[in-house]
Structure 1
Amino acid sequence: MNNYRPKPPFEQPLRRLLDPSYPLCREDVLWALGFIKKKVADRAPEWSGLDRPQLLARFACFADMALLLLHRRSPSSEETDCFRTMLGELLPREQER
């Protein structure tokens, strides 16, 4: 039996952005912020099921990255780590075997 499951089109850019050796550029961050905005607007379970502290932490990370773009400043390693962690939580979980 073939267990191949096609990956949704958004997974490839997200996986690339999660690679610590891949430098985040402005276009990548803009794409990711737009993707997150759409997920929130669509009431995706990754966001709608969060408790208040988790939601506030993700919002703070989202806002930090958006402000960095406005001020045309490069993110620090801490900001990049926060953003990549948040993006990683948007990927579907692989099913346990």
Structure 2
Amino acid sequence: MHDSHSPLLGGPKRIEQIFDPQHILCRDDLLWVLHYVQKKVAQKDPALLELPKPRLMRNFQYFGEAAVLLLSRSSAQGLDNERIRVCLLEAMHGLFQSGENEAAPPSNDYS
């Protein structure tokens, strides 16, 4: 796996860069976040274990949506930056502290 996907490289700085509205998202950003979340789940991160089940389901919903959006695009040029950013932010809910964490609007409610 490419080093830029490692959740240990960049950490909070990389997360803040990805969620900066001025930053143009690329395919590597999506892969990095998906890998970061996957590693946190595999490690049974205490921050995730403290989330209520409905919130965990919402995280999973957005994780899956980001993965599908990534797979459905042949290049990052076609990605809707704001939509992808919302999916990534919601998928990472509870794994980092940010003022934007609660500001991301849900796209749809499956509850």
Runs of 5+ consecutive residues of structure 2 not aligned to the other structure: 1-8, 99-111
TM-score of the superposed pair, with normalisation by structure 2: 0.65
Q: What residue in structure 2 maps to residue 30 of structure 1?
A: 31
Deviations 1:61-96 (A, max 9, x none): 100000011111624634422422444642258xxx
> Within 2, Cα distance between the matches of 1:71 and 1:30?
14
Quick check: 57-66 or 40-49, which moved more? 40-49
Query: Percent same amino acid among aligned pairs?
Result: 30
TM value normalised by structure 1: 0.73
* CA pair 82-66 structure 1, distance change in 2 beyond 3 A: closer
Distance 2:57 2:42 in 1: 16
Counterpart in the other structure of 1:20:
21
Across the aligned residues of Structure 1 and Structure 2, the Cα RMSD in angstroms comes to 2.3
